[in-house]
Amino acid sequence: MRRISVFGATGSIGQNTLDLIRRAPDDFDVVALTGAHNIKLLAQDAMALGADIAVTSDPARLAELRDALAGSGVEAAAGDNALIEAAARPADWIMSAIVGAAGLAPGMEALKHGTTLALANKESLVTAGPLLLGEAARHGATVLPVDSEHSAVFQALIGEEMEAVERVIITASGGAFRDHPLDALEAVTVAEASSHPNWDMGQRITIDSASMFNKAMELIETKEFFGVSPDKIEAIIHPESLIHAMVGFNDGAIMAHVGPHDMRHAIGFALNWPKRRSLPVERLDLAKIGQLNFRAPDSARYPALKIAQTVMEEGGLTGAVFNAAKEQALDDFIAGRCGFTDMARKVDACVDAMLSREGLQNATITLDSVQEADAAARALTADITGTAKG
Ligand code: NAD
Ligand code: MG
Protein backbone atom coordinates (compact mmCIF):
# COMPACT_ATOMS: atom_id res chain seq x y z
CA MET A 1 0.00 0.00 0.00
CA ARG A 2 1.36 3.41 -0.89
CA ARG A 3 0.70 6.28 1.48
CA ILE A 4 -0.79 9.17 -0.46
CA SER A 5 -1.89 12.75 0.28
CA VAL A 6 -3.78 15.09 -2.00
CA PHE A 7 -3.36 18.84 -1.53
CA GLY A 8 -6.15 20.78 -3.23
CA ALA A 9 -8.30 17.62 -3.15
CA THR A 10 -11.57 19.49 -3.73
CA GLY A 11 -10.42 21.11 -6.98
CA SER A 12 -10.44 19.90 -10.53
CA ILE A 13 -7.03 18.14 -10.42
CA GLY A 14 -7.69 16.92 -6.87
CA GLN A 15 -11.00 15.30 -7.82
CA ASN A 16 -9.44 13.63 -10.86
CA THR A 17 -6.70 12.29 -8.58
CA LEU A 18 -9.25 10.91 -6.12
CA ASP A 19 -11.10 9.28 -9.01
CA LEU A 20 -7.95 7.25 -9.83
CA ILE A 21 -7.34 6.42 -6.16
CA ARG A 22 -10.92 5.21 -5.75
CA ARG A 23 -10.48 2.79 -8.65
CA ALA A 24 -7.63 1.00 -6.86
CA PRO A 25 -8.64 1.12 -3.18
CA ASP A 26 -6.26 -1.69 -2.19
CA ASP A 27 -3.21 0.11 -3.59
CA PHE A 28 -3.45 3.31 -1.57
CA ASP A 29 -3.55 4.38 2.04
CA VAL A 30 -4.78 8.01 2.15
CA VAL A 31 -2.96 10.16 4.69
CA ALA A 32 -4.18 13.76 4.22
CA LEU A 33 -6.70 15.54 2.03
CA THR A 34 -6.80 19.33 1.93
CA GLY A 35 -9.16 21.95 0.56
CA ALA A 36 -10.24 25.52 1.12
CA HIS A 37 -13.95 26.35 1.15
CA ASN A 38 -15.81 23.27 -0.02
CA ILE A 39 -15.94 21.69 3.45
CA LYS A 40 -18.77 19.30 2.60
CA LEU A 41 -16.85 17.70 -0.28
CA LEU A 42 -13.59 17.64 1.68
CA ALA A 43 -15.21 15.84 4.62
CA GLN A 44 -17.15 13.46 2.41
CA ASP A 45 -14.04 12.39 0.47
CA ALA A 46 -11.87 12.16 3.60
CA MET A 47 -14.40 9.83 5.22
CA ALA A 48 -15.01 7.75 2.09
CA LEU A 49 -11.29 7.24 1.52
CA GLY A 50 -10.46 6.74 5.20
CA ALA A 51 -7.96 9.61 5.36
CA ASP A 52 -6.08 10.21 8.62
CA ILE A 53 -6.65 13.98 8.46
CA ALA A 54 -8.59 16.60 6.50
CA VAL A 55 -7.30 20.17 6.42
CA THR A 56 -8.99 23.36 5.28
CA SER A 57 -6.76 26.34 4.55
CA ASP A 58 -9.44 28.60 6.05
CA PRO A 59 -9.24 28.76 9.90
CA ALA A 60 -12.77 30.22 10.05
CA ARG A 61 -14.14 26.94 8.68
CA LEU A 62 -12.53 24.61 11.25
CA ALA A 63 -15.66 24.17 13.38
CA GLU A 64 -17.68 23.32 10.29
CA LEU A 65 -15.08 20.75 9.21
CA ARG A 66 -15.03 19.23 12.72
CA ASP A 67 -18.82 18.92 12.68
CA ALA A 68 -18.80 17.33 9.26
CA LEU A 69 -16.20 14.77 10.38
CA ALA A 70 -17.69 14.08 13.83
CA GLY A 71 -17.57 10.43 14.80
CA SER A 72 -15.64 9.39 11.67
CA GLY A 73 -12.20 9.15 13.27
CA VAL A 74 -10.79 11.56 10.63
CA GLU A 75 -8.83 14.38 12.28
CA ALA A 76 -9.69 17.99 11.35
CA ALA A 77 -7.26 20.90 11.13
CA ALA A 78 -7.15 24.37 9.57
CA GLY A 79 -4.82 27.14 8.46
CA ASP A 80 -1.51 27.47 6.66
CA ASN A 81 0.51 25.80 9.43
CA ALA A 82 -1.84 22.85 9.47
CA LEU A 83 -1.22 22.46 5.72
CA ILE A 84 2.52 22.37 6.36
CA GLU A 85 2.08 19.87 9.18
CA ALA A 86 -0.03 17.67 6.93
CA ALA A 87 2.71 17.85 4.26
CA ALA A 88 5.23 16.69 6.88
CA ARG A 89 3.25 13.51 7.63
CA PRO A 90 4.99 10.42 6.29
CA ALA A 91 3.77 9.67 2.78
CA ASP A 92 5.19 8.12 -0.37
CA TRP A 93 3.48 10.44 -2.85
CA ILE A 94 1.79 13.82 -2.59
CA MET A 95 -0.32 15.52 -5.21
CA SER A 96 0.31 19.27 -5.16
CA ALA A 97 -2.92 20.65 -6.65
CA ILE A 98 -3.56 23.78 -4.63
CA VAL A 99 -4.13 26.69 -7.00
CA GLY A 100 -1.79 29.69 -6.79
CA ALA A 101 1.31 30.63 -4.85
CA ALA A 102 -0.19 29.03 -1.71
CA GLY A 103 0.93 25.66 -3.11
CA LEU A 104 4.65 26.38 -2.72
CA ALA A 105 5.18 26.01 1.05
CA PRO A 106 3.39 22.64 1.49
CA GLY A 107 5.26 21.27 -1.53
CA MET A 108 8.61 22.40 -0.09
CA GLU A 109 7.73 20.71 3.20
CA ALA A 110 6.85 17.42 1.49
CA LEU A 111 10.22 17.43 -0.33
CA LYS A 112 12.05 17.99 2.96
CA HIS A 113 10.72 14.61 4.05
CA GLY A 114 11.78 12.93 0.82
CA THR A 115 8.19 12.51 -0.40
CA THR A 116 7.65 12.24 -4.14
CA LEU A 117 5.86 15.40 -5.28
CA ALA A 118 3.42 15.17 -8.18
CA LEU A 119 3.33 18.80 -9.20
CA ALA A 120 0.19 20.23 -10.77
CA ASN A 121 0.78 23.53 -8.97
CA LYS A 122 2.72 25.28 -11.72
CA GLU A 123 3.00 28.42 -9.61
CA SER A 124 5.63 26.64 -7.44
CA LEU A 125 7.97 26.36 -10.40
CA VAL A 126 7.23 29.81 -11.80
CA THR A 127 7.77 31.59 -8.50
CA ALA A 128 10.57 29.51 -7.03
CA GLY A 129 11.75 26.81 -9.43
CA PRO A 130 15.39 26.75 -8.27
CA LEU A 131 14.33 26.72 -4.60
CA LEU A 132 11.85 23.86 -5.07
CA LEU A 133 14.12 21.71 -7.24
CA GLY A 134 17.12 22.49 -5.01
CA GLU A 135 15.15 21.23 -2.02
CA ALA A 136 14.20 18.08 -3.92
CA ALA A 137 17.85 17.44 -4.86
CA ARG A 138 19.03 18.05 -1.29
CA HIS A 139 16.66 15.44 0.09
CA GLY A 140 16.81 13.01 -2.81
CA ALA A 141 13.11 13.55 -3.46
CA THR A 142 11.47 13.19 -6.87
CA VAL A 143 9.32 15.87 -8.50
CA LEU A 144 7.04 14.65 -11.29
CA PRO A 145 5.28 17.10 -13.61
CA VAL A 146 1.48 16.85 -13.79
CA ASP A 147 0.74 19.80 -16.05
CA SER A 148 -0.23 17.94 -19.24
CA GLU A 149 2.39 19.69 -21.42
CA HIS A 150 5.20 18.99 -18.97
CA SER A 151 4.12 15.41 -18.44
CA ALA A 152 4.26 15.12 -22.25
CA VAL A 153 7.78 16.61 -22.43
CA PHE A 154 8.88 14.36 -19.56
CA GLN A 155 7.58 11.32 -21.43
CA ALA A 156 9.18 12.42 -24.73
CA LEU A 157 12.52 12.73 -22.92
CA ILE A 158 12.57 9.22 -21.44
CA GLY A 159 15.84 7.60 -22.54
CA GLU A 160 17.09 10.79 -24.24
CA GLU A 161 20.03 13.05 -23.49
CA MET A 162 19.33 16.73 -22.77
CA GLU A 163 22.33 17.73 -24.97
CA ALA A 164 20.42 16.41 -27.98
CA VAL A 165 17.37 18.62 -27.31
CA GLU A 166 17.09 21.46 -29.82
CA ARG A 167 13.64 22.77 -28.97
CA VAL A 168 10.66 22.18 -26.74
CA ILE A 169 7.32 23.04 -28.31
CA ILE A 170 4.45 23.64 -25.92
CA THR A 171 1.03 23.48 -27.57
CA ALA A 172 -1.81 25.83 -26.71
CA SER A 173 -5.48 25.53 -27.57
CA GLY A 174 -5.68 29.30 -27.95
CA GLY A 175 -8.36 29.42 -25.24
CA ALA A 176 -11.89 30.78 -25.36
CA PHE A 177 -11.05 33.76 -27.61
CA ARG A 178 -8.70 32.33 -30.21
CA ASP A 179 -11.10 33.38 -33.00
CA HIS A 180 -12.72 36.36 -31.25
CA PRO A 181 -12.33 39.73 -33.06
CA LEU A 182 -9.24 41.38 -31.60
CA ASP A 183 -10.92 44.74 -30.96
CA ALA A 184 -13.77 43.06 -29.07
CA LEU A 185 -11.46 41.36 -26.54
CA GLU A 186 -11.48 44.37 -24.27
CA ALA A 187 -15.19 43.91 -23.56
CA VAL A 188 -15.38 40.14 -22.92
CA THR A 189 -17.03 39.09 -19.65
CA VAL A 190 -15.80 36.86 -16.84
CA ALA A 191 -18.43 34.25 -17.78
CA GLU A 192 -17.21 34.20 -21.40
CA ALA A 193 -13.58 33.86 -20.29
CA SER A 194 -14.49 31.02 -17.91
CA SER A 195 -15.42 28.53 -20.60
CA HIS A 196 -12.70 26.50 -22.32
CA PRO A 197 -13.09 25.02 -25.83
CA ASN A 198 -11.35 21.69 -24.96
CA TRP A 199 -10.60 21.19 -21.26
CA ASP A 200 -12.76 21.20 -18.13
CA MET A 201 -10.63 22.90 -15.44
CA GLY A 202 -10.85 25.25 -12.44
CA GLN A 203 -12.08 28.80 -13.17
CA ARG A 204 -8.73 30.53 -12.65
CA ILE A 205 -6.72 28.34 -15.03
CA THR A 206 -9.55 28.53 -17.58
CA ILE A 207 -9.42 32.34 -17.63
CA ASP A 208 -5.61 32.11 -17.75
CA SER A 209 -6.01 29.91 -20.83
CA ALA A 210 -8.15 32.53 -22.57
CA SER A 211 -5.54 35.22 -21.87
CA MET A 212 -2.66 32.76 -22.50
CA PHE A 213 -1.22 33.62 -19.10
CA ASN A 214 -1.50 29.88 -18.52
CA LYS A 215 0.75 29.22 -21.52
CA ALA A 216 3.11 31.97 -20.37
CA MET A 217 3.35 30.18 -17.00
CA GLU A 218 3.98 26.90 -18.81
CA LEU A 219 6.87 28.31 -20.86
CA ILE A 220 8.51 29.47 -17.63
CA GLU A 221 7.68 26.11 -16.02
CA THR A 222 9.45 24.37 -18.95
CA LYS A 223 12.58 26.43 -18.46
CA GLU A 224 12.62 25.76 -14.72
CA PHE A 225 11.73 22.08 -14.72
CA PHE A 226 13.81 20.85 -17.65
CA GLY A 227 16.60 23.45 -17.49
CA VAL A 228 16.08 24.35 -21.16
CA SER A 229 17.23 27.83 -22.22
CA PRO A 230 14.47 30.30 -23.18
CA ASP A 231 15.54 30.49 -26.84
CA LYS A 232 14.74 26.78 -27.22
CA ILE A 233 11.19 27.04 -25.84
CA GLU A 234 8.27 27.81 -28.16
CA ALA A 235 4.49 27.95 -27.96
CA ILE A 236 2.29 26.96 -30.89
CA ILE A 237 -1.48 27.12 -31.27
CA HIS A 238 -2.95 23.67 -31.80
CA PRO A 239 -6.74 24.02 -31.63
CA GLU A 240 -7.44 20.28 -31.17
CA SER A 241 -5.25 20.08 -28.00
CA LEU A 242 -4.44 16.44 -28.77
CA ILE A 243 -0.68 16.88 -29.00
CA HIS A 244 0.25 18.11 -25.54
CA ALA A 245 3.87 19.00 -26.28
CA MET A 246 6.72 18.09 -28.60
CA VAL A 247 10.46 17.79 -28.19
CA GLY A 248 12.70 18.48 -31.19
CA PHE A 249 16.13 16.79 -31.29
CA ASN A 250 19.40 17.65 -33.04
CA ASP A 251 18.81 15.04 -35.74
CA GLY A 252 15.62 16.81 -36.81
CA ALA A 253 13.27 14.29 -35.16
CA ILE A 254 10.30 15.60 -33.21
CA MET A 255 8.72 13.40 -30.55
CA ALA A 256 5.08 14.37 -29.96
CA HIS A 257 2.91 13.21 -27.10
CA VAL A 258 -0.64 12.57 -28.31
CA GLY A 259 -3.55 11.86 -25.99
CA PRO A 260 -7.14 12.74 -25.10
CA HIS A 261 -8.12 15.88 -23.15
CA ASP A 262 -8.24 14.16 -19.81
CA MET A 263 -6.00 15.19 -16.92
CA ARG A 264 -6.26 11.68 -15.54
CA HIS A 265 -3.62 10.70 -18.08
CA ALA A 266 -0.92 13.06 -16.70
CA ILE A 267 -2.07 12.45 -13.11
CA GLY A 268 -2.10 8.67 -13.64
CA PHE A 269 1.32 8.74 -15.30
CA ALA A 270 2.74 10.48 -12.22
CA LEU A 271 0.83 8.13 -9.89
CA ASN A 272 2.12 4.97 -11.59
CA TRP A 273 5.61 6.24 -12.51
CA PRO A 274 8.06 4.69 -13.27
CA LYS A 275 5.59 2.09 -14.59
CA ARG A 276 2.77 2.58 -17.03
CA ARG A 277 -0.55 1.09 -16.01
CA SER A 278 -3.93 1.03 -17.70
CA LEU A 279 -5.86 4.29 -17.23
CA PRO A 280 -9.58 4.94 -17.69
CA VAL A 281 -9.09 7.52 -20.45
CA GLU A 282 -10.51 7.52 -23.96
CA ARG A 283 -8.47 5.80 -26.69
CA LEU A 284 -8.18 8.18 -29.63
CA ASP A 285 -9.70 7.25 -32.97
CA LEU A 286 -7.22 8.99 -35.28
CA ALA A 287 -9.16 8.29 -38.47
CA LYS A 288 -12.20 9.96 -36.93
CA ILE A 289 -10.10 12.94 -35.77
CA GLY A 290 -8.84 13.27 -39.36
CA GLN A 291 -6.49 16.20 -39.00
CA LEU A 292 -4.40 18.16 -36.56
CA ASN A 293 -3.85 21.88 -37.09
CA PHE A 294 -1.16 24.32 -36.03
CA ARG A 295 -0.69 28.07 -36.24
CA ALA A 296 1.72 30.62 -34.84
CA PRO A 297 0.40 32.55 -31.83
CA ASP A 298 -0.48 36.16 -32.63
CA SER A 299 1.48 38.45 -30.32
CA ALA A 300 -1.20 41.17 -30.41
CA ARG A 301 -3.81 38.70 -29.18
CA TYR A 302 -1.52 37.09 -26.59
CA PRO A 303 0.78 39.70 -25.00
CA ALA A 304 1.35 37.32 -22.05
CA LEU A 305 3.77 35.25 -24.16
CA LYS A 306 6.14 38.16 -24.62
CA ILE A 307 6.08 38.89 -20.89
CA ALA A 308 7.01 35.22 -20.29
CA GLN A 309 10.06 35.66 -22.50
CA THR A 310 11.20 38.59 -20.34
CA VAL A 311 10.61 36.58 -17.16
CA MET A 312 12.61 33.61 -18.47
CA GLU A 313 15.49 35.82 -19.56
CA GLU A 314 15.66 37.87 -16.34
CA GLY A 315 15.24 34.95 -13.89
CA GLY A 316 15.72 35.35 -10.13
CA LEU A 317 12.58 36.67 -8.45
CA THR A 318 11.07 37.92 -11.72
CA GLY A 319 8.90 34.78 -11.83
CA ALA A 320 7.54 35.44 -8.34
CA VAL A 321 6.67 39.02 -9.36
CA PHE A 322 5.11 37.84 -12.60
CA ASN A 323 2.98 35.18 -10.90
CA ALA A 324 1.77 37.52 -8.15
CA ALA A 325 0.98 40.29 -10.64
CA LYS A 326 -0.94 37.78 -12.74
CA GLU A 327 -2.87 36.46 -9.71
CA GLN A 328 -3.76 40.03 -8.66
CA ALA A 329 -4.79 41.05 -12.18
CA LEU A 330 -6.94 37.90 -12.38
CA ASP A 331 -8.58 38.75 -9.02
CA ASP A 332 -9.24 42.25 -10.36
CA PHE A 333 -10.80 40.90 -13.57
CA ILE A 334 -12.99 38.37 -11.74
CA ALA A 335 -14.14 41.07 -9.30
CA GLY A 336 -14.97 43.48 -12.16
CA ARG A 337 -12.22 45.95 -11.24
CA CYS A 338 -10.55 45.72 -14.65
CA GLY A 339 -11.23 44.49 -18.16
CA PHE A 340 -9.87 41.33 -19.81
CA THR A 341 -7.11 43.02 -21.84
CA ASP A 342 -6.13 45.14 -18.83
CA MET A 343 -4.75 42.04 -17.14
CA ALA A 344 -1.73 41.86 -19.47
CA ARG A 345 -1.22 45.64 -19.28
CA LYS A 346 -1.17 45.50 -15.49
CA VAL A 347 1.20 42.52 -15.33
CA ASP A 348 3.54 44.03 -17.94
CA ALA A 349 3.64 47.36 -16.09
CA CYS A 350 4.29 45.66 -12.74
CA VAL A 351 7.11 43.44 -14.05
CA ASP A 352 8.67 46.43 -15.85
CA ALA A 353 8.47 48.68 -12.79
CA MET A 354 9.87 46.08 -10.41
CA LEU A 355 12.67 45.12 -12.80
CA SER A 356 13.80 48.72 -13.09
CA ARG A 357 13.82 49.51 -9.40
CA GLU A 358 15.06 46.34 -7.71
CA GLY A 359 17.73 43.73 -8.20
CA LEU A 360 15.16 41.05 -8.91
CA GLN A 361 17.35 39.12 -11.32
CA ASN A 362 20.12 38.49 -8.83
CA ALA A 363 18.05 38.14 -5.66
CA THR A 364 18.35 34.93 -3.66
CA ILE A 365 15.21 32.85 -3.87
CA THR A 366 13.93 31.81 -0.43
CA LEU A 367 10.40 31.28 0.87
CA ASP A 368 10.66 34.71 2.55
CA SER A 369 12.04 36.60 -0.45
CA VAL A 370 9.38 35.01 -2.67
CA GLN A 371 6.66 36.07 -0.23
CA GLU A 372 8.04 39.62 -0.08
CA ALA A 373 8.27 39.95 -3.86
CA ASP A 374 4.80 38.45 -4.12
CA ALA A 375 3.25 40.95 -1.69
CA ALA A 376 4.98 43.94 -3.32
CA ALA A 377 3.90 42.85 -6.80
CA ARG A 378 0.29 42.33 -5.72
CA ALA A 379 0.12 45.80 -4.13
CA LEU A 380 1.67 47.44 -7.17
CA THR A 381 -0.57 45.58 -9.63
CA ALA A 382 -3.72 46.43 -7.66
CA ASP A 383 -2.76 50.12 -7.97
CA ILE A 384 -2.20 50.03 -11.70
CA THR A 385 -5.53 50.93 -13.25
CA GLY A 386 -6.55 49.48 -16.57
CA THR A 387 -7.74 51.53 -19.50
CA ALA A 388 -11.07 49.77 -20.03
CA LYS A 389 -12.54 50.01 -16.52
CA GLY A 390 -11.30 50.21 -12.96
P1 NAD B 1 -9.22 24.42 -8.63
O2 NAD B 1 -9.51 25.85 -8.42
O3 NAD B 1 -10.24 23.54 -9.27
O4 NAD B 1 -8.78 23.75 -7.23
C5 NAD B 1 -7.86 24.35 -6.39
C6 NAD B 1 -7.74 23.62 -5.07
O7 NAD B 1 -6.90 24.42 -4.19
C8 NAD B 1 -9.05 23.42 -4.34
O9 NAD B 1 -8.98 22.22 -3.58
C10 NAD B 1 -9.09 24.61 -3.38
O11 NAD B 1 -9.90 24.35 -2.27
C12 NAD B 1 -7.63 24.75 -2.99
N13 NAD B 1 -7.23 26.10 -2.59
C14 NAD B 1 -7.61 27.27 -3.18
N15 NAD B 1 -7.01 28.30 -2.55
C16 NAD B 1 -6.23 27.78 -1.58
C17 NAD B 1 -5.35 28.35 -0.59
N18 NAD B 1 -5.14 29.66 -0.49
N19 NAD B 1 -4.71 27.51 0.26
C20 NAD B 1 -4.90 26.18 0.20
N21 NAD B 1 -5.72 25.59 -0.72
C22 NAD B 1 -6.37 26.38 -1.59
O23 NAD B 1 -7.85 24.38 -9.48
P24 NAD B 1 -7.33 23.27 -10.47
O25 NAD B 1 -7.82 23.58 -11.84
O26 NAD B 1 -7.54 21.92 -9.90
O27 NAD B 1 -5.77 23.60 -10.50
C28 NAD B 1 -4.91 23.26 -9.42
C29 NAD B 1 -3.48 23.52 -9.85
O30 NAD B 1 -3.17 22.66 -10.94
C31 NAD B 1 -3.23 24.93 -10.37
O32 NAD B 1 -1.92 25.31 -10.06
C33 NAD B 1 -3.36 24.78 -11.88
O34 NAD B 1 -2.63 25.74 -12.60
C35 NAD B 1 -2.77 23.40 -12.08
N36 NAD B 1 -3.25 22.70 -13.27
C37 NAD B 1 -4.57 22.43 -13.43
C38 NAD B 1 -5.01 21.76 -14.56
C39 NAD B 1 -6.47 21.40 -14.73
O40 NAD B 1 -6.79 20.70 -15.68
N41 NAD B 1 -7.37 21.80 -13.87
C42 NAD B 1 -4.11 21.38 -15.55
C43 NAD B 1 -2.76 21.67 -15.35
C44 NAD B 1 -2.34 22.33 -14.21
MG1 MG C 1 -1.17 22.73 -19.03
pLDDT at 370 over 80: yes
For 143-190, what is each residue's pLDDT tens digit? 999 999 999 999 999 999 999 999 999 999 999 899 999 999 999 999
Specify the residue with its C-alpha closest to ligand 1, atom 7. 98
How far apart are the C-alpha atoms of 135 and 265, rounded to whole Å?
A: 27
- Average pLDDT value for the chain: 96
Residue 152 in contact with ligand 1 by CB distance below 6 A: no
Atom of ligand 1 lying closest to residue 35 CA:
11
Pure H helices in the chain:
12-22, 39-48, 62-69, 80-88, 104-112, 122-138, 148-156, 190-193, 203-211, 213-226, 263-272, 286-289, 304-314, 318-334, 342-357, 367-383
Residue nearest to ligand 1 atom 41, measured at CA: 201
Answer whether residue 390 shows pLDDT above 70.
no
129 lines ligand 1 (CB under 6 A): no
pLDDT of residue 197: 84
User: What value does the mean pLDDT take over residues 301-316?
Assistant: 97
The span from the CA of 94 to the CA of 110, in Å, is 7
Instruction: Quote the ligand 1 centre to 267 CA distance (angstroms).
Output: 14
Nearest ligand 1 atom, CA 38:
11
Report pLDDT digits (tens) over 181-235: 999 999 999 999 999 888 888 999 999 999 999 999 999 999 999 999 999 999 9
Half-sphere exposure of 132 (CA within 13 A, CB side): 31
Q: State if residue 123 touches ligand 1 by the CB under 6 angstroms criterion.
A: yes
Residue 328 has pLDDT above 50, yes or no: yes
pLDDT tens-digit map of 242-264:
999 999 999 999 999 999 999 99
Q: Atom 23 of ligand 1 has which residue's CA nearest to it?
A: 202
